[in-house]
Chain A
Amino acid sequence: MYPDELKYTAEHEWVRVDGDSVVVGITDYAQSQLGDIVYVSLPESGDTIEPGVSIGELESTKSVSDLFAPVSGVVTERNEQLDSTPELVNSDPYGEGWLIKVRIDDPAAVASLLNADAYRAQVAE
């Protein structure tokens, strides 16, 4: 449920490093807690993002949850598929349900995020 090769945040996002870029999504735990996701609002390509700042929203039939930037950088791509099929975040949170790609300012910042074991421990609490 929480792939070992990913990094995680306390706000239930995952980050996959790919050179000087990262792919960002939400975890299986987060999608399960939200329930059926019906609307995803994401930042645009070119937007600058800062950790801890809300950059979008994930809305389910029941509730809405802010999306927080896990790292600082510039958005290079947003998952356009989610505009018409937001349910991909539920069905494939680590694959087709990815949210944004970010060119990161400081690759070292990713190292300070949670590893899979630490995230599992947080979710188990």
Chain B
Amino acid sequence: MSGDQVAPTPLITSPLHERQLAMGAKMAEFGGWQMPLEYANGGVLKEHAAVRDGVGVFDVSHLGKLAVRGPGGRDFVNGCLSNDLGRIEPGQAQYTLCCDDATGGVVDDLIAYLRSDEVVFLIPNAANAPTVCERLATAAPSEVEVLDLHRQFAVLAVQGPSSDEVLDALGLPVGHAYMAFVDAEHEGVSVTVCRTGYTGERGYELVVTADGAVALWDAILRAGEPYGIRACGLGARDTLRTEMGYPLHGQDISLDITPVQARLGWAVGWSKPSFWGREPLLAEKEKGPKRVLRGLVASGRGIARPGMRVLIAADFPVGVITSGTFSPTLRKGVALALIDPSIEVGAEVSVEVRGRREIFVLAAPPFVTPGVREP
């Protein structure tokens, strides 16, 4: 067998791929999947505005889907992932982290849907789904199974202040509490409607079996017409989440960045007797992190990008940009950066933007008022 030539792995496509091509989507690779970056006649700014002011629908089927089930499934997950599943009831979801047990670094951030004491459904990031699955499967007792259902489900995110009207027109449940989910049916296909999202707006994420995805997508776009709904790509998803200061795995959190550094201690059940990374994370919390994730807002027209250096005084490096973009809402640059913890919110720093120094001010995200919890 010749090992000289390795064919590139073909990108995985969503069940909505043909629909997206027909809508003129510009595609890009995300975690091994080919997904829409933006749509023809749309673009990041229009798609961003649709979500902030009206409603938009995203295909986020590249996100992973894992089911953990069996006697004690809930307790098993609770002993692995960081957040405390004892804080929520069946029918609620929770933001949580899968940390490395040895270092506390973030393997992935995910949403856990608590279905019962036996069943927890997990939504990890696309690229990390196999790793999370493997780590859980390796640790699971024999009576608990960990299923990788990545291709069996599609995920559609309906986000924006008019989300309720759109789902209501389809006969889907709306108005449940933030982070709660309800099982429903659309044209004979099961849909889980969860009040979650990654945009900072009121909205829902719909988990639907892959064979029902096209009908649901079409129905959402039709029902959303009176509200000016737009199909939105992952470009707008990134500007929306950056305005909220939501971390992105691979940039703001990673195996090399801990939840203590990323100021995600709220997603850690510190009083739990065990979870992956408990010892190193408790030690780091006690000692204080050597760097922390902070928000930055541009004073001028500079736009910071990941990897750029953050400086104080004449030339003293104090950190690095992890996410940065133009905020369509504020019409200026916003960023997240891992920075020396002694530099406080309100301090002025400069960012090295292609040989120039651009002034930014340290700020506490969100940069834009979120609407996620509005009743």
A residues neighboring B (CB under 8 Å): 35-36, 38-39, 41, 57, 59-62, 64, 87, 90
CB distance from B135 to the nearest CB of A (A): 33
Assess whether A61 is in contact with B328, with CB atoms less than 8 Å apart.
Answer: yes
Interface size on B, residues (CB 8 A): 17
- CB-CB nearest in chain B for A38: B326
- CB-CB nearest in chain A for B48: A61
Question: Which residue of A35, A36, A59, A90 is within 8 Å of B303 (Cβ)?
Answer: A59
Contact pattern, B 20-62, Cβ under 8 Å of A = 1, otherwise 0: 0000001000000000011000011110000000000000000
**Residues of B contacting A87 in the complex (Cβ-Cβ under 8 angstroms):** 45
Assess whether B44 is in contact with A64, with CB atoms less than 8 Å apart.
Answer: no
Given A61-B235, A61-B328, A62-B235: A35 touches B44 (CB 8 Å cut-off) = yes
The binding surface of chain B is classed by DSSP as mixed
Assess whether A61 is in contact with B44, with CB atoms less than 8 Å apart.
Answer: yes
Whether, in the assembled complex, B287 has its beta carbon less than 8 Å from a beta carbon of chain A, the answer is no
**Residues of A contacting B26 in the complex (Cβ-Cβ under 8 angstroms):** 35
Assess whether A35 is in contact with B354, with CB atoms less than 8 Å apart.
Answer: no
The A-B contact count (CB < 8 A) is 37
Assess whether A64 is in contact with B38, with CB atoms less than 8 Å apart.
Answer: no
Given A61-B325, A62-B235, A64-B354: A35 touches B301 (CB 8 Å cut-off) = no
CB distance from A97 to the nearest CB of B (A): 15
Whether, in the assembled complex, B239 has its beta carbon less than 8 Å from a beta carbon of chain A, the answer is yes
CB distance from A53 to the nearest CB of B (A): 14
Assess whether B326 is in contact with A90, with CB atoms less than 8 Å apart.
Answer: no
Task: Point out which of B26, B43, B239, B354 has the most chain A C-beta atoms below 10 A from its C-beta.
Answer: B43
**Residues of A contacting B301 in the complex (Cβ-Cβ under 8 angstroms):** 39, 41
Assess whether B43 is in contact with A39, with CB atoms less than 8 Å apart.
Answer: no
CB distance from A114 to the nearest CB of B (A): 25
Question: In the complex, A87→B45 CA distance in Å?
Answer: 10
**Residues of A contacting B239 in the complex (Cβ-Cβ under 8 angstroms):** 61
**Sample of 18 further A-B pairs with CB below 8 A, known A35-B235, A61-B325:** A35-B38, A36-B45, A38-B303, A38-B326, A38-B328, A38-B331, A39-B303, A39-B326, A41-B301, A57-B354, A59-B303, A60-B44, A61-B235, A61-B239, A61-B328, A62-B37, A62-B44, A64-B303
Pairs A-B, 5 closest by C-beta atoms: A61-B44, A38-B326, A36-B45, A36-B43, A36-B44
**Residues of A contacting B46 in the complex (Cβ-Cβ under 8 angstroms):** 36
Question: In the complex, A61→B301 CA distance in Å?
Answer: 13
Whether, in the assembled complex, B305 has its beta carbon less than 8 Å from a beta carbon of chain A, the answer is yes
**Residues of A contacting B235 in the complex (Cβ-Cβ under 8 angstroms):** 35, 61-62
Assess whether A64 is in contact with B305, with CB atoms less than 8 Å apart.
Answer: yes
**Residues of B contacting A62 in the complex (Cβ-Cβ under 8 angstroms):** 37, 44, 235
**Residues of A contacting B44 in the complex (Cβ-Cβ under 8 angstroms):** 35-36, 60-62
CB distance from A98 to the nearest CB of B (A): 20
Within 8 A of A (CB), among B326-342: 326, 328, 331
Assess whether A61 is in contact with B305, with CB atoms less than 8 Å apart.
Answer: no
**Residues of A contacting B38 in the complex (Cβ-Cβ under 8 angstroms):** 35
Question: In the complex, A41→B235 CA distance in Å?
Answer: 23
Question: In the complex, A6→B309 CA distance in Å?
Answer: 41
Assess whether A59 is in contact with B326, with CB atoms less than 8 Å apart.
Answer: yes
Question: In the complex, A59→B325 CA distance in Å?
Answer: 10
**Residues of B contacting A38 in the complex (Cβ-Cβ under 8 angstroms):** 45, 303, 326, 328, 331
**Residues of B contacting A35 in the complex (Cβ-Cβ under 8 angstroms):** 26, 38, 43-44, 235
CB distance from A81 to the nearest CB of B (A): 15
**Residues of B contacting A90 in the complex (Cβ-Cβ under 8 angstroms):** 43
CB distance from B285 to the nearest CB of A (A): 36
Question: In the complex, A87→B338 CA distance in Å?
Answer: 32
Question: In the complex, A60→B26 CA distance in Å?
Answer: 15
CB distance from B279 to the nearest CB of A (A): 40
Given A35-B235, A36-B43, A39-B303: A61 touches B326 (CB 8 Å cut-off) = yes
Question: In the complex, A62→B325 CA distance in Å?
Answer: 7
**Residues of B contacting A60 in the complex (Cβ-Cβ under 8 angstroms):** 44
- CB-CB nearest in chain B for A59: B303
Question: In the complex, A57→B353 CA distance in Å?
Answer: 12
**Residues of A contacting B303 in the complex (Cβ-Cβ under 8 angstroms):** 38-39, 59, 64
Question: In the complex, A35→B233 CA distance in Å?
Answer: 12
CB<8 Å pairs between A and B, sample of 20: A35-B26, A35-B44, A36-B43, A36-B44, A36-B46, A38-B328, A38-B331, A39-B301, A39-B303, A39-B326, A59-B326, A60-B44, A61-B235, A61-B239, A61-B326, A62-B44, A62-B235, A64-B303, A64-B305, A90-B43
- CB-CB nearest in chain B for A62: B235
Question: In the complex, A59→B45 CA distance in Å?
Answer: 13
CB distance from B108 to the nearest CB of A (A): 24
